[in-house]
Amino acid sequence: MITTTGLTKVYRSGDREVTALDGVDLHVREGEVYGVLGQSGAGKSTLIRCLNLLERPTSGTVTVAGQDLTALAGDQKRANAALRAARSHIGMVFQHFNLLSSRTVQDNVELPLEILKLDRCERARKALELLDLVGLADKAKAYPAQLSGGQKQRVGIARALAGDPKVLLSDEATSALDPETTRSILQLLRDLNRRLGLTIVLITHEMDVVKTICDSAALMKNGHVVEQGTVAELLATPGSELARELFPVGGEPSGADRTVVDITFHGAAATRPVISELARTYNIDISILGAAMDTVGGKQIGRMRIELPGRFEENVVPIGFLREQGLQVDVADAADDEPDNEPAVPAPAAAPLKEGAK
């Protein structure tokens, strides 16, 4: 539904240049909720604003619903009209709602319909229908100042839906809201995604938002997308930073001469007694440093951090055993055991070794 290739944005002011996006290749499938994460300054807002060409990319392409928006973004009048038409199918929701305080709720929602030149009756009908969809039918005549933050964001969402968009872009839509209101807005977005088949790209810095509604996510750093995929793919990627942040499991090793292993249990594997089997089979003492169960992307996932006595090279066989059980196993670096110094050790038949070492 949305593809960017080699998307680059360089801001220039005087002789200073800031590369906010540096060759971003993004792929958002139709009908999914896609989260973009990253620290402040990573380029998230620039990316989302480039998706509807509010920000003109310096180079690269943006394709939305099969249409290359970058090709429409010429200076000629015809191209601009075509871009405006394409944009009307992309809604945008903002962190601070951006409502006009002098207009009623209904008039705020009607604004994009005025730009689309719908007649008065049609505008009113559509605005009331949208307000009903977001649960605010009774607030049509209220002014923004009379609404709570969550209600204001619902108006922002209704306004974003006015052009019957296929895509909704959300720039930190919930970060100005309290946790309960955040949950209800996320629920509304998920609902709209399912009922209208809406593709949603949202920027967030909250892992809970990703856990609650995202099908896929990307992590940005310094203008690059450094990880992206479905939540399940990310959780199954050894060493994934997003997976670790989505599902943190702490615990420090008790000494230098230990091997720390993070195990992720998906589905049926979560209920098998693999740790006691491991202890019995190899006659080793296993310490559990941390453990957590959670629902991520609608699926039950378990994670455990264990400690095995001895260095990595002494634990090759037990680690191979865990992998043979179909578990995802990430071996953490021991404090005194840099990856570069790891000895080459033969792999057991069914499992790659130390692929997840970070």
Contact residues toward ligand ATP (CB under 6 A) are: 11, 13, 18, 20, 38, 40-46
Cβ-based nearer residue to ligand ATP, 43 or 112:
43
- 24-52 CB burial, b ≥16 within 10 A, e <16: bebebeeebbbbbbbeeebbbbbbbbbbb
Quote the least distance from Cβ 217 to ligand ATP, whole Å: 14
Cβ-based nearer residue to ligand ATP, 59 or 271:
59
Quote the least distance from Cβ 169 to ligand ATP, whole Å: 13
Alpha carbons 33 and 27: distance in angstroms, whole number: 12
Cβ-based nearer residue to ligand ATP, 191 or 206:
206
Quote the least distance from Cβ 144 to ligand ATP, whole Å: 23
Q: Closest Cα to residue 215, out of 231, 203, 204, 192? A: 231
Cβ neighbours for 141, distance < 8 A, ≥ 6 positions apart: 104, 105, 106
Q: 59 - beta bridge partners?
A: 8
Quote the least distance from Cβ 15 to ligand ATP, whole Å: 13
Contact 279, 285 (CB under 8 A): yes
Burial class of 208 by CB neighbour count within 10 A (0 to 12, 13 to 18, 19+): middle
Cβ neighbours for 46, distance < 8 A, ≥ 6 positions apart: 9, 20, 21, 55, 223
Quote the least distance from Cβ 21 to ligand ATP, whole Å: 8
Cβ-based nearer residue to ligand ATP, 19 or 63:
19
Cβ-based nearer residue to ligand ATP, 43 or 163:
43
Cβ-based nearer residue to ligand ATP, 245 or 252:
245
Quote the least distance from Cβ 16 to ligand ATP, whole Å: 8
Local structure of 54: helix, strand or coil: coil
SS3 content of the chain, % helix, strand, coil (to 5): 35, 30, 35
- Counting runs of H as helices and runs of E as strands, what totals does the chain give? 12, 14
Quote the least distance from Cβ 90 to ligand ATP, whole Å: 18
Cβ-based nearer residue to ligand ATP, 6 or 339:
6
